[in-house]
Structure formats: C-alpha cells, structure tokens
Structure 1
Amino acid sequence: MNFWNNFAAKHPAAAKWVREGGLFVIVSNLITLFKYLLLQFLPKAFASLPVVDFGWPGIDITLFGETFKWNILGYDAAHGGLPYFCAYMVAMVIGECINFPIQRNFVFRSKGSLARQIGWYLLAFCLITCIVNSINCIWVAVAGLLVPDFIYNIGTTVLNGGISMVIFFFVNKIIFPEGEAAK
C-alpha cells in the first residue's frame, strides 16, 4: 500500500490511468462473463422464432470449405439466425445497462452530463457492436469447424469482450473526459 501511495504522489496522472485501467478491465471482464452466462440460456427464450437468415449485408463467403453469410449485424440461419441474434442483442444491452453506470460512477468517477454521456455511449455501443459482430461472424462460421464447442464458446466470449473492452476503454476516456471526472 505504501508503494502505491508513493507512486500516486509522484505520478498522479499515471496512477489515475493504472487505477482506471485496472478497474475497467476487472469490471469489463465481469460484465463479459455475465453476458456469456446469459448467452448460455437466452437462446432458449427465443427458440420459438423462425431460424432464418437475419443480417446485413449477407455477403456469401467461403473459408476453410465453410460457406457462410458475412454480416456486419446479424447471423445466418446456419449459425443461429434471428433467434440467436435476438438473444445476443438482449445479452449485450443488459450487460451494457449494468456496465455504463459502474464505469461512469465507480471507475471513471464522472460528474459530467448524463444525457450527453449516454448518447455517446449508445453511439459507441452501436459502432462497436457492428465491428465485433462483423469479426464474430467469421469466427462463428470457422471456429465451429476447427475447435471443440467449449473452446469455441470461450473464444467467442473473449473476442466479443476483448475487442469491446479495448475500444470502450478509449471511448470512455473521451466520453468521461478529465474535466468532467472527479479529481
């Protein structure tokens, strides 16, 4: 504890980055684990929906002998289609509704405009979801051929959580700028 206090006194800006970065990683990983657990059960809640291609732009791609539809948003029928997309989005939205207030209030200690921060966070969530889903679409199609299910599920969770976490950290540094955070 003495080491940290000395470090924080000598390097306050670095200490703030270490504190925020460390807490951000811990909270983000816990939220990612929560989303993973939701995705173990939520697809059953949407099982009554038709398993149809649901995505955009739906470009046919073949990798490692597997042909699938590449989507920026959504999944083809072979990889869950509409029911999985609904479950995925519900898990992501619930996770972010928990993540935002924890990151804002506890990690970044922000006192800025809540409405503005929610707007930026929502925009970032939409962009990040599209980026991650476009990568995940390839992983879902190809990894299912190459690795056992439990590794595939771990990989999907790490891919979704890891990419989102890195992007959200830097977005949060913009959303919760220095002038709005508690010192």
Structure 2
Amino acid sequence: MKKWIKQHPDVWEFIKFNILSNIATITNFIVLWIGSNLLFTSFSNRTFRWLIFKYSISNGGLNGFLSFLLAYVIAQIVNYIIQRKFVFGVQNDISKTLHWYILTVIVAGIISIVLPPYTTAIFQTLGISLSFAQICANIINVIIQVLINYPMMKFVIMK
C-alpha cells in the first residue's frame, strides 16, 4: 500500500479527502436532524422566501432553511480543520487563505441552500416522505460540495 501511495500521491490525497470528508458529512446529517427535529420545529409551519431562497411548508419551510444552513456551516468548520490537518497537512498562514475558504463555502453554501426545496420536492413526487426526501437532498448537496471544495482546497486554499 505504501508503494502505491508513493506512486499515486494525488489519487491518495483525493481518497483521503473524501474519506475524511465523511466526518463533516456525518456532522452535517446530525446537525440537520437536530435542527429540523429539535431546534427549529416551531418554524415548520412558516414559509421562507427571500431572494433566491424558496422554502414552502411542504418542503420544510423556515425550519428546513435554518436546519440546512446550520448543518452546512458547522460541517464546513469541521471540514476545514480536518482537511487542513489530515489531508493537506499544510502549515500556511490561515489569515492568507481563509478568505478563499470562506468565499468557497459561501458559493457552495448558496447552492446548497437554494437547491434543497427543489430536490426535496422532486423526491417527494417519487413518493418519498419529507424526512427522507430531505436526506436525499442533503446527499446531492454533499456531492456538489465535494465538486466545488476539493479543487479549491487543493489548488488555492491548502496550496
């Protein structure tokens, strides 16, 4: 295995990135569940519409928006710490790259907050319950985040 890792360091780095991203993914799902089932339940019957954000009551309302937002923010904090230390092993000055990470998180975050009502609704039309539809929407969000975050971390933030 050591020989293979030495021969394919970029592939190994990507594998580590994805495996260790699961810590942030698990964090995301736990915080999503806590938010939607404990913290923000009183907002379930409130529609949330602001600019590009459209969360109707049928796909979680304000509860859904706040839960996805909180889950995303906490997961990204966890992800930054883990990727910095265990995948990229960089010692660069955080103050010189943190703005790039924040910008990356904001772009991926906007996509991850705008998309769920639409993907949740699609899954619900397939007969999936709201709770499971939100989980499926979150899986799509995680995939999008990897497609955005890995190149930015590898080539800009953790360079």
Flag whether TM exceeds 0.5 (same fold).
Answer: yes
- Taking structure 1 as reference, are residues 83 and 134 closer, same or farther at Cα in structure 2, changes over 3 Å only? closer
Letter in 1 for 2:157: I
* Aligned pair partner of 1:125 in 83, 100, 105: 105
User: What do residues 29-69 of structure 1 show as CA deviations (whole Å, max 9, x unaligned)?
Assistant: 33212211222222121123373222333xxxxxxxxxxxx
Indicate the structure with greater strand content: 1
Equivalent residues in 2 for 1:40-79 (5 A)? 40-43=33-36, 44-49=38-43, 51-57=45-51, 71=52, 73=53, 75-79=55-59
* CA-atom RMSD in angstroms: 2.2
* Residue-pair matches, total: 156
Higher Cα Rg: structure 1 or 2? 1
Q: 1:119 to 1:89 in 2, by over 3 A?
A: same
Q: Is the 8 A contact 1:49 1:83 kept in 2?
A: yes
Gaps of 5+ in 1: 58-70, 178-183
Does the 8 Å contact 2:23/2:79 carry over to 1?
Answer: no
Match of residue 139 from structure 2: 158
Conserved? CA contact 1:32–1:157, under 8 Å: no
14, 18, 41: which one aligns with 1:21: 14
In structure 1, the residue matched to 2:4 is 4
Q: Is the 8 A contact 1:42 1:87 kept in 2?
A: yes
Q: 1:76: how far off?
A: 2.5
* TM-score using structure 1 length: 0.74
More helix by share: 2
- Paired residues of 2:43 and 2:61 also in contact (CA < 8 A): no
Calculate the TM-score normalised by the size of structure 2.
0.84
What CA distance in whole angstroms lies between the structure 1 residues aligned with 2:2 and 2:106?
42
In the TM superposition, what is the alpha-carbon distance from 1:103 to its structure 2 partner? 0.5
Give the aligned residue type for 2:141: N
1:86 and 2:66 matched: yes
Report the identity percentage: 26
- Structure 2 gap ranges (5+): none
